[in-house]
Structure 1
Amino acid sequence: MHGLGTAAALPRGSIASLEARLATFFRAAGIEAMLAGALPFDRSADDCLWQARRVVRTAPPKQGMPCAATDAAWQLSHAPDAAGYEAAVRRALDLMAAEAGTAGGLEKIVLSRSLVTTAERDIDVAALFRRLAADPAATAFLVPLPERGGVPRVMAGATPELLVAKAGRRVSSHPLAGSARRRADLAEDAAVAARLAASDKDRQEHGIVAEFILDTLAPFCRRLFRPQGMALASTATMWHLGTRIEGELKDPEVPAAVLAAALHPTPAVCGVPREKAARHIGSLEGYARDFYAGAVGWCDGRGDGAWYVTIRCAEISGRQARLYAGAGIVPGSDPRAEAEETAAKYAALLTALGIPPLGEERS
C-alpha cells in the first residue's frame, strides 16, 4: 500500500491525545479517509500522521534490485561500538540483579545501538524501498518524518513484526522476541533454528512479550487466543520466536491506532516494567530513539488498519543513513552474544544499501 502526496496532516501530539485527535479528524474527513505515518518510541513525544491524497495498493517486487554501491562508497561509524554496547548490557544486568525479587523490579530491557553510514551522494530512498520490499517475510515501509533543522528525512525499513491489525471485529498481532542470525549453509541454518527454539533464555524473553500483548488486548476483546503457540518465524537474514495472536473485539469501532497506542511500546522493544525500562533505556543508550522502535502503519475512518513495530530500519537524510538494531536483555544474557545479535540485525538494511554485512568489530 502506497500513500501518494499529503492532503492533510493530523495535528501533532502524544499518544495521550491520539484518540481524541483521530475522532476529530475523521468526523471532518469521513470514513473513507485514511491516515498513515509513525508513532515515536517515547509515548510523550509527538507523532507524525498524515492523510494521503491518493492510496495505491501494489504487490511487492518478486526479486531484489542489484545494489550499485560498494563498501568503498561509504563511511561507517558505530554509536556505540561492540565494546561500548557490551558495557551497557553489563550495566543493565547489574540493575536487574540488584532489583531481583523486589516488587516492580526490572525484568527485561531492550538495548539498541546505531550505525551511521555516509555515502558519497544522496541516498536513493525509492530504490532502497524496492530492495527492502523484496523479502516477503517482512513489511517494507518508507515514512516521511518531520524535518530536522530544515533538512528532509524519512524512516525506511523492512519490519517482520506486526504490532496490531484490525478489520471490523477481527484483531491480530504477531510479536517477535528471541532471535538468531541465519546461515547460508542449510544444515547450519537448521541447527541455528533448532537451538533458538530450545533456548530457555530466548523462550523466557519471548514469553514476556506474548503475555504482555495478551494482557493488554484482553480488555478490548470478547475472545483472544493463540492458534499455534510459540513457533519459529524467519526473514531472509534472521530467525525469530513468534506467537500469532488473534481475537474478536467487543467494539468493532475501536480504532486500530488506539489499539496500537495501548500496546506500544511492547517488551519486544522496551522492557518490563515498561516505564522503568524506558527510563533506563534513555540513560544506558546515550541517544534519543526518536521514531526508531516506534510504530508505523495506517488507519481509516472505520477504525480498520495495521501497525508494525519500527525495527530493521534506518533514518535517511541526504547522504546519511542511521541504522538501528536492538536486543532483549534478561537475566542470563551474554553481553557479547547480544552485541553480535545487534550486528546481525543490521544485515537487511546494509544489503539494501549495497554495503557488505558487518564482520568482526574487534581488533
Structure 2
Amino acid sequence: MSTAPQVAAVRTLAEPAHPAVGVATALLDSYVPGARFLATPTRTLLGRGVHAEVPHDDRPVTRRVAATLAAARAAGHASPLVIGAVPFAPDAPAALAVPATLHTAPPLTADPLASLPADPPAPNELTVHQEPAPEDYAKAVAAAVDRMWQGEFSKVVLARTLRVEAARPFDLPAMLQRLARRDPSGYTFALPTGPGRTLLGASPELLVSRHGNRVVANPLAGSVPRHPDLAEDVRRAAALLDSAKDLYEHAVVVNAVEEGLARHCADLIVPARPTLVRTATMWHLSTTVTGTLRSPDTTALDLASALQPTPAVCGTPTETARRVIRESEPVDRGFYTGMVGWGDADGDGEWVVTIRCAEATGDSLRLYAGAGVVAASDPEAETAETAAKFRTFLSAVGAQL
C-alpha cells in the first residue's frame, strides 16, 4: 500500500473559496454619492470622476454620445464607456458621462456575498405625500378609459409619484445596498443627474442590449402584485398568464418592439406567448426578443433610441399618449420611464427602462410608479398596481403608504 502524502484537497486559508467571492460586492460597497453605479445580469460597473460629459445640444443623443466616445478614444482613453441616464422627454438634458476611472466586475449574481441581506433602514422621521392623491389618479385613469372607448387612442401609461421628506438626509449607499441585495439578478443603478441629485432604482426591464451582432430586448407589460400567501401568489401568476386585458396590453408592446428592431435586425425571434418574470413585489408578463444586427455601425444606443418610449411606459399612438400624459400627470417625469445604461466605443451596451426608481436630493425623495391603461382597465385596480410597484423602493427607505 502506498504511503505517499495526500495533497489534492488542501488549500490555504488565504485562498478564496471561489474566484468571484467579494468581487462584485466590493464595487457595491465602494459606492459613494456622485459615483456612477450600474449592476446588470452581465456585469457590475462603478465609475468615478468625469473624463468627459456628453453635451446637451440640438444633435440627437446618439450622435452626441458617439462624438464624446470618439473624442475620448482620440485623447488616449483605451476603452471609453459612457454611463448614465436619458430622460423621458426627448428634448430634456441627459445625464451621461465617460468616467475618469471605471471599475468592472462580474454580475452580482456571480458573487455569493450578494445573497447576504443588507442592514435594515436606520430610524428616520419620514413624511409621505402622494401626488396626485389616489382618488385623483383613479379619476385620471377613468377619464383616459372614456377617451379610449371614444376611439381617441388605444393605450396610455399614467404615473403618480410619492414625495418622501426625511428629518435628516437619506443614506444613499445604504439604500443602494438594499435595492441591489433584494434582487441581485435585476438592473440596479445609482447615477448623478445634477448637482446634489441622484437617480436610484432597481428596474426589472431590459430595453435592449447589443453584444457584437447579437441583440436582445425584454419588454414587460401586464402586471399583478405579488401576495405573501404562496397559494394566492401562484393563483395570481396563473391568472395573469390567462388575462385577456393583460395579454392585449403585452402584445401591443411586443409588436412595437418587433417593429422597431426589424429595421435593424435579421433573424428576429419573437415567442408567440409571454412567460412570467417576478420581482419581490410584482409578477410581469415577459417576452424575450432576440435578433442579429444587420450593420455593425448600429450601436446599442441607436437601438434603444429607436424603441424608446415603448408602449409599456408611454402608450399608443406615441404622440397622442405623450399629450395625454402631459395633460393628466401633475408632476414632470424627469428621468422616470427614460432609460439608464452603458455604451462603449465599439457600439456594445445595455439600456434599461427607468422604472422602480426615485430621485434623491438630500432629505427628499421623489418616487415614481405607473400603470398601463387600456379600454378594459379598472381605475381602482390600476391605482393598487402603482401602490404595489412603490413597495420596491419604499422598503429600501423604511417607509410605507
TM-score (norm 2): 0.84
- Distance, in Å, in 2 between the alignment partners of 1:112 and 1:56 is 35
- Distance, in Å, in 2 between the alignment partners of 1:86 and 1:282 is 16
Q: Which runs of 4+ in 1 moved over 4 A?
A: none
Give RMSD over aligned pairs.
Answer: 1.4
Say whether residues 1:146 and 2:194 are aligned partners. Answer: yes
- Distance, in Å, in 2 between the alignment partners of 1:69 and 1:88 is 36
Say which of 127, 131, 155 aligns to 1:75: 127
**Is the 2:69–2:82 Cα contact (8 Å) retained in structure 1?**
no
1:257-282 alpha-carbon deviations (Å, 9 max, x no partner):
11111111111100000111011101
- Distance, in Å, in 1 between the alignment partners of 2:283 and 2:57 is 36
* Structure 1 counterpart SS, 2:122: coil
- Distance, in Å, in 1 between the alignment partners of 2:357 and 2:315 is 20
For structure 1, list consecutive stretches of 5 or more residues without a partner in the other structure.
Answer: 359-363
- Distance, in Å, in 1 between the alignment partners of 2:235 and 2:282 is 13
Alignment partner, residue 93 of structure 1: 145
- Distance, in Å, in 1 between the alignment partners of 2:188 and 2:302 is 22
* Structure 2 counterpart SS, 1:69: coil
- Distance, in Å, in 1 between the alignment partners of 2:278 and 2:129 is 28
1:174-219 alpha-carbon deviations (Å, 9 max, x no partner):
0100111111111111011011111100000011001100000101
How far is the alpha carbon of 1:20 from its aligned partner?
2.1
| Higher RCO (C-alpha under 8 Å, 6+ residues apart) | 1
Change (3 A) 1:63 1:282: farther
* Structure 1 counterpart SS, 2:158: strand
Alignment partner, residue 176 of structure 2: 129
- The amino acid that maps onto 1:87 is K
- Distance, in Å, in 2 between the alignment partners of 1:349 and 1:319 is 15
1:156-305 to 2 correspondences below 5 Å: 156-227=200-271, 229-305=273-349
Normalized per residue, the structure richer in strand is 1
- The amino acid that maps onto 1:140 is T
**Identity of matched residues, %:** 42
- Distance, in Å, in 2 between the alignment partners of 1:312 and 1:351 is 12
Say whether residues 1:18 and 2:61 are aligned partners. Answer: yes
- Distance, in Å, in 1 between the alignment partners of 2:319 and 2:269 is 27
- The amino acid that maps onto 2:80 is A
Say whether residues 1:345 and 2:389 are aligned partners. Answer: yes
- The amino acid that maps onto 2:388 is A
Alignment partner, residue 361 of structure 1: none
TM-score (norm 1): 0.92
How far is the alpha carbon of 1:47 from its aligned partner?
1.3
- Distance, in Å, in 1 between the alignment partners of 2:156 and 2:366 is 22
Aligned length: 346
- The amino acid that maps onto 2:122 is A
